[in-house]
Amino acid sequence: MSVSLESRLRRHVERLADEIGERHVLRPEALHAAERYIGETLRALGYEVSRQAYEAQGVDSANLEVAIAGNAAASEIVLAGAHYDTVPGSPGADDNASGVAAILELARLLRDAKPARTIRLVAFVNEEPPFFFWGEMGSKVYARAARARGDDIRVMLSLEMLGCYSDEKGSQGYPPLLKYFYPTQGNYVAFVSNIRSRHALRGVFEAFRTASAFPAEKLAAPALVPGIGWSDQLSFWREGYPAAMVTDTAFHRYRHYHQPTDTPEKLDYARMAQVVEGLARTLESLASAA
């Protein structure tokens, strides 16, 4: 793990959460500033950035996408994405500047990759309420368009809060019953999916465990279990694509979830960097010919 990766992750989170702050359609200037930062960072890495624009509550909104083209099975797609908006009232360091920072650094780590399948990295807009579940989520707009095009997305990974870790016993909470089967310490990264995506989840989890020694747990459960479907993977499930969330488990661990106190100094960038390095190798593995 390189110190430079830690510092870059920290810088992305500070730029989004400290300097730009809460970013949503009620603060369109901030939402657009976040979009510009993400786009400029990706272009500086040499990528061509595709902008999928639409209007949400009268505000110009956009998903941003880059691709590392496959060289043998290019029509098959492995996708990772994270949302860059926040709830009103929160600067959103962990939720979800951490996920966006991971996408930006995955783009850096993978830019010279030669995958068999195409890898797409996407920054989604408008995941948070009032758009979540019923509204025009950015990922909903994206997944719907992907299905209409006939995109062959083999798996989608939603990067949703990656910065909180603790070795303290009792630091990890769970929905009912799950506490009997999982660690009491919140020092791992979780891979979760609905039941339909369980086979894809198994492949993702095994690839990560092969690529990284970082502690990890997995769970395939009905989407009604609190937290299982609470991010952009939901949009892909609705379009019939296999998808999983990669997360520090959000409110089950992080007490600053959706609060004004979700600020950059709360995050563990050293462990976050380990997770991002593991995810880079995981994406390369998933994008290898099958």
Tell me what the mean pLDDT of segment 193-215 comes to.
Answer: 98
Specify the range with the lowest mean pLDDT, choosing from 1-10, 187-196, 278-287. Answer: 1-10
Reading phi first (left if > 0) and then psi (alpha if -120 to 50, else beta), residue 238 is in alpha
Confidence band, pLDDT 50/70/90 cuts, at residue 2: very low
Query: Does residue 1 carry a pLDDT above 50?
Result: no
Write the pLDDT tens digit of every residue in 43-59: 999 999 999 999 999 99
Question: Is this model's pTM higher than 0.85 or not?
Answer: yes
Confidence band, pLDDT 50/70/90 cuts, at residue 289: low
Write the pLDDT tens digit of every residue in 145-200: 999 999 999 999 999 999 999 999 999 999 988 999 999 999 999 999 999 999 99
Cα 2 versus chain centre, distance: 21
Q: What is the pLDDT of residue 150?
A: 98
Q: What is the pLDDT of residue 112?
A: 95
Confidence band, pLDDT 50/70/90 cuts, at residue 3: low
Confidence band, pLDDT 50/70/90 cuts, at residue 224: confident
Q: What is the pLDDT of residue 176?
A: 85
Q: Long-range pairs for 165-171 at CB < 8 Å and ≥24 separation?
A: 165/248, 165/268, 165/271, 165/272, 166/253, 171/253
161, 4, 8: which is closest to 98 by C-alpha?
Answer: 161
> What mean pLDDT is reported for the chain?
96
The residue behind tokens 């959103």 is: 92
Question: How much of the chain exceeds pLDDT 90, in percent?
Answer: 94
Tell me what the mean pLDDT of segment 84-104 comes to.
Answer: 98
Q: What is the pLDDT of residue 226?
A: 85
Q: What is the pLDDT of residue 160?
A: 98
Question: What residue spans define the domains of the chain?
Answer: 3-286
Write the pLDDT tens digit of every residue in 108-151: 999 999 999 999 999 999 999 999 998 899 999 999 999 999 99
User: Tell me: domain 3-286, CATH 3.40.630.10, correct?
Assistant: yes
The residue behind tokens 């400029």 is: 40
DSSP string for 201-230: HHHHHHHHHHH--S-EEEEE--TTSTTTT-
What letter does residue 127 receive in the DSSP assignment?
-
Q: Long-range pairs for 174-180 at CB < 8 Å and ≥24 separation?
A: 174/252, 175/225, 175/226, 175/227, 175/252, 178/219
Query: Does residue 253 carry a pLDDT above 60?
Result: yes
